Structures are given as C-alpha cells and as structure tokens.
Amino acid sequence: MSQHRHPGAPGRAGAVPALPDLPEATVARLPEYLRALHNLADAGHETVSSEGLANAAGVNSAKLRKDLSHLGSYGTRGVGYDVALLIEQIESVLGLTQCRSVALVGVGNLGHALAGYDGFASRGFRIAALFDADPARVGEEINGLVVRHVDELPRVAAEQLISIGVIATPASAAQAVADQLVAVGVTSILNFAPCVLSVPEGVDMRKVDLAIELQILSFHEHRKASLTALPGTAGSALTALPGGLAATDTQEAIGT
C-alpha cells in the first residue's frame, strides 16, 4: 500500500494541530483504543496504564505505547494515561470533534440495516441523506429520514456538506454511484458492494466485503483440518473448554 503518502505535500500542517503523519497501522487502531477508553470512562476510571488499555483493546502493550507516542500523547510515567484527556486527543486526531455527515446510497436489504443503526450517531456520525434509484423506494421514511432519488444527490450535496459516502447498491451500480459521489465533491467512500472501484487520486476508498472475510476463515478452517489429519501433537482444538470461560490472553487473526 503506497497510498496516503501524497507526494509533494510538505510535512507541516496548516495551523494549530501539526499533524504528525501517523503510520496507517496506527490510525487503524486508534478507533479501538477510543472505544476501550470510553468503556473505561463509563466504568469510572480516571487513569489507565498502557497494560490495562492494551488488554481492553486486545493488543500488545508495547504497540499501544508506540502508537500513542506517535501522536505526541502525554502519559505520566509511573501512573499511566489520563482517560478523559486521551479520549480528547484521539478524537481530535481522528477529526471527530466535528460531526460528520454521511450519505447512504442504496437503501435495500443492507441499506435498511445501516440506516437504522445507532452506532453511527454514538460516534459522531450523522446520516444526512438516503438515496436509491428505485422509484418504489423513493419517499419511504426510515428512522426519520426520507429516501430521495439518487438524481437529487447534487442538489442535496449543495445544501449540506457531505463528508463520507456509503455505497450499498449492487456491484453493477457501484462504480456509477462512486463517480456520482466524487462528482459532487465527496472525498471519502465506504463501499459494501463486492467489486473494485476506481476513484481519482485524493479520494479515499475503503471496502467491507463479507464474502472475503468468510473465505479467509474458510482457508484457515481448511488448513486446520488438514493439520489435524495426522500429526502426533495437539488435536485439542476440537475439544470444548472446561467451563464457559474463554482464555483471556489469546486473540487470533485480525487481518485488519
């Protein structure tokens, strides 16, 4: 992945924050830290050690410290990190201090679930508009939002600034929708359709593909099966645990 290293960009940011050019792997973990921190805050913790937070987020403590050090975070040696302060810092870095508007295109099977999901608002994202191409769906109201025809996208985008576009149409329509989103100035897209999309430089694309996840799991399942076929050691994977308690130390396969 050679992306996100925009070539001619000078290392300095505009005004106050002085963005320190975080490693992509770190960025991908910050949201997990953030969720763990919110849980800790709700539980009444004022501070947390790197070990504690790492456990709560399911990562190595050294990795966590390095990640936080990248954003110049201030922990106190011998004590740990101030939970509230760290939440503030991470939210600031992730750009979550302002509420971001999301446009959802394709209100079918999956689109309905997404439109009704409350996990958006709780993290500072607001579904600003719903679009579909099917006249039968246009006008339907979901969660207080009316489904509009996708042709109205330019007009709606002109009214309110759309931060992120979400594509939940069939794969055959996804590229066209992406082009439309880009045309109205959307520079971040999350795609649920199982296909590759081309977008111009400067537009960020992320993809969620259920089938791929299942196939990766299938591979490991296949591999485990052919390993238990004959080796003398360890066939314990198939036996259930004694109690219902899972071991708290292991966590496997987070390809992300």
Ligand X SMILES: NC(=O)c1ccc[n+]([C@@H]2O[C@H](COP(=O)([O-])OP(=O)(O)OC[C@H]3O[C@@H](n4cnc5c(N)ncnc54)[C@H](O)[C@@H]3O)[C@@H](O)[C@H]2O)c1
Partner DNA sequence: AGGCGCTTGTGAAGACGTGCACAAATCGCG
Partner DNA sequence: CGCGATTTGTGCACGTCTTCACAAGCGCCT
Annotated binding site for NAD(+): 106-111
Residues 101-140 that bind ligand X (CB under 6 A): 105-111, 113-114, 117, 119, 131-134, 137
CA dihedral 100, 106, 109, 114 (to 10 degrees): 0
Q: Segment near a second copy (CB under 8 A), from 16-24, 40-48, 77-85, 132-140?
A: 16-24
User: Using CB under 6 A, which residues numbered 154 to 193 contact ligand X?
Assistant: 168-171, 173, 176-177, 192-193
CB 193 within 8 A of CB 168: yes
Q: Select from 31-39, 47-55, 135-143, 216-224 the region that touches DNA (CB under 7 A).
A: 47-55
CA distance 152 to 180: 11
* 90 contributes a contact to DNA by CB under 7 A: no
Cα dihedral 201, 206, 209, 215, rounded to 10, equals 80
Identify the DSSP state of 240. Answer: P
Residue ranges in 112-131 that form contacts with a second copy under rule CB under 8 A: 112-114, 116-117, 119-120, 123-125
**What is the x/- site pattern for DNA, positions 15-44, by CB under 7 A?**
--------xxxx------------------
- Cα separation, 46 vs 56, whole angstroms: 15
Of 139 and 170, nearer to a second copy (C-beta) is: 170
What's the burial of 191, exposed, middle or buried (CB within 10 Å: 0-12/13-18/19+)? buried
Binding site for DNA (CB under 7 A): 1-2, 5, 23-26, 48-51, 59-63, 65-66, 68-69, 73-81
